[in-house]
Amino acid sequence: MPVITTHQLTKRYPRVTALDRLTVEIGAGVTGLVGANGAGKSTLIKILLGVEDPTGGGASVLGHDIASDGAALRRRVGYMPEHDCLPGDVSATELVVHLARMAGLPLDAARERTADTLRHVGLYEERYRPIGGYSTGMRQRVKLAQALVHDPQVVFLDEPTNGLDPVGRDEMLALVRRVYDDFGISVLVTSHLLGELERVCDDVVVLDAGVLLRSSSVAEFTQASAQLAVEVTADAGIAVAALAARGLRAVREGSLVLVDLAGEETYDTVRDVVAEQGYGLVRLERRRHHISEVFDERTADVVV
């Protein structure tokens, strides 16, 4: 069963259409929801949580209809909001225990789960200090911990790397991956940085001004654009011409020739050309593009 399905999901505000007839299916695993600022990512999450109503279409999460089954849905879902919304005068433990209790856990279980999740996000040592003294990275971890504490089946993480430096981003992304790998909790994670999602996501959904631009696995994204990097002892420009004469799409990149991979037979053709021309073969390797390179110009404003 898919984790999330939407059908013609639409949200119109008076001046802007935040989601425009979005139909998509999201399965288990880590899924990236990517788009420039204002693309509709947060709006989609709020609608999936059942806290905002769509103006058209519908959706379900874990089989629960967002319109009729919101309370049951929210019991099984965790949510990490985008903006900083933490009280400064309580400790991480106090806050997360409180939120676990609100999610319905008995006190003992809430305490136990809080200790476990704070350890998981790397906040165990600091867990009794007031949140007001925490760094941005620590605050993001508290938000992640509270999203996980009631052991949901899926979590929605809205821009978890926001405001973090490169090291903090890497650490947060590794944590996001582990949410699924270690606990089996599916993740929908938003970012306006396409490049960073590629590293931790199984699938990517791309929104542009509320419209679905693409939904596919990261592997599909990158495989579709695979190339062979070929280095021969001859001049690369001459090799490009020889390969092109055999119907391959090839371009020169320094001393390399990059050949579009159009199936396994591309390898055979390259081998034949190299043999026929008497080149020495220095290198033959498959290259995958990054998903950020695979995008068309419509997503030019997505930061990569």
Beta strand 56-61 with 64-65 is antiparallel
Closest CB 292 distance from ligand ATP, rounded Å: 17
Question: Where are the strands (E) in 127-248, listed by range?
Answer: 154-157, 186-191, 203-208, 211-217, 227-232
161 lies in the binding site for ligand ATP (CB under 6 A): no
Residue 102: partners with Cβ closer than 8 Å, 6 or more residues away: none
41 lies in the binding site for ligand ATP (CB under 6 A): yes
Our CB check for ligand ATP shows the closer of 281 and 303 to be 303
The Cα 32–Cα 24 span in angstroms is 13
Alpha carbon 208 to its chain's center? 15
Angle CA(266)–CA(268)–CA(274) in degrees, nearest 5? Answer: 105
Closest CB 74 distance from ligand ATP, rounded Å: 19
56 lies in the binding site for ligand ATP (CB under 6 A): no
- Contact mark string toward ligand ATP, 192..231, x via CB under 6 A: x---------------------------------------
- Residue whose tokens read 């209790």: 101
- Of the candidate spans 11-19, 73-81, 103-111, 215-223, the one that interacts with ligand ATP by CB under 6 A turns out to be 11-19
38 lies in the binding site for ligand ATP (CB under 6 A): yes
Our CB check for ligand ATP shows the closer of 27 and 38 to be 38
Closest CB 42 distance from ligand ATP, rounded Å: 3
Beta strand 211-217 with 203-208 is antiparallel
Specify the long-range contacts of residues 118-127, CB closer than 8 Å, at least 24 apart: 118/92, 118/93, 118/145, 120/145, 120/148, 120/175, 120/178, 120/182, 121/145, 121/148, 121/175, 122/171, 122/175, 123/92, 126/92, 127/91, 127/92, 127/93
174 lies in the binding site for ligand ATP (CB under 6 A): no
Tell me the Ramachandran region of residue 268: left when phi exceeds 0, alpha when psi lies from -120 to 50, beta otherwise: alpha
Exactly one of 4, 31, 32, 35 binds ligand ATP (CB under 6 A); which one? 35
Our CB check for ligand ATP shows the closer of 38 and 195 to be 38
Closest CB 216 distance from ligand ATP, rounded Å: 19
The Cα 147–Cα 80 span in angstroms is 6
13 lies in the binding site for ligand ATP (CB under 6 A): yes
- Contact mark string toward ligand ATP, 89..118, x via CB under 6 A: ------------------------------
18 lies in the binding site for ligand ATP (CB under 6 A): yes
191 lies in the binding site for ligand ATP (CB under 6 A): no
16 lies in the binding site for ligand ATP (CB under 6 A): yes
- Of the candidate spans 1-9, 13-21, 119-127, 163-171, the one that interacts with ligand ATP by CB under 6 A turns out to be 13-21
236 lies in the binding site for ligand ATP (CB under 6 A): no
43 lies in the binding site for ligand ATP (CB under 6 A): yes
Given a contact cutoff of 8 angstroms between Cβ atoms, the answer to whether 149 and 100 are in contact is yes
Decide: residue 170, CB within 10 A, 0-12 exposed, 13-18 middle, 19+ buried. middle
The Cα 105–Cα 98 span in angstroms is 10
Interacting residue ranges for ligand ATP, rule: CB under 6 A:
13, 16, 18, 35, 37-43, 82, 192
